[in-house]
Amino acid sequence: MRSVSIIGVGCTSFGEHWQKSLRELVAEAGIQAVLTSGLVGKDIEAIYGGCMASGRFIAQEHIGALLADQLGLNPIPSTRVEAACASGGVALRSGFLSVASGAYDIVAVGGVEKMTEVSTSEAAIALGGAGDQETELFHGASFPALYALMARKHMHDFGTTEEQMALCSVQAHKNGMLNPNSQFHKEISVEEVMHSGYVASPLKLLDCSPITDGAAAVILCETEKARKMGIPAVEIIGAGQASDSLALSGRKSLTEVAATKKAAEIAYKQANLGPKDIDVVELHDCFSIANIMAIEDLGFFKKGEGGKALEQGKTALNSEISVNPSGGLKCGHPVGATGVKQAVEIFEQLLGKAGKRQVKDAKIGLAHNVGGSGATAVVHIMRRL
Active site residues: 85, 333
Distance CA 197, CA 274 (A): 39
What is the biggest distance separating any 2 CA atoms in the chain, rounded to whole angstroms? Answer: 57
Distance CA 243, CA 256 (A): 13
139 by Cβ neighbours in 10 Å (0-12 / 13-18 / 19+) ranks as: exposed
186 by Cβ neighbours in 10 Å (0-12 / 13-18 / 19+) ranks as: exposed
What is each CA distance from 248 to 82, 116, 304, 312, in whole angstroms? 20, 28, 19, 31
Q: Do 93 and 238 touch, CB atoms closer than 8 A?
A: no
The vertex-325 CA angle with 319 and 248, nearest 5°, equals: 100
DSSP state of 85: B
- In angstroms, the first-to-last Cα distance of the chain is 18
Distance CA 355, CA 362 (A): 13
1 by Cβ neighbours in 10 Å (0-12 / 13-18 / 19+) ranks as: exposed
Distance CA 200, CA 146 (A): 9
CA dihedral 167, 173, 175, 180 (to 10 degrees): 170
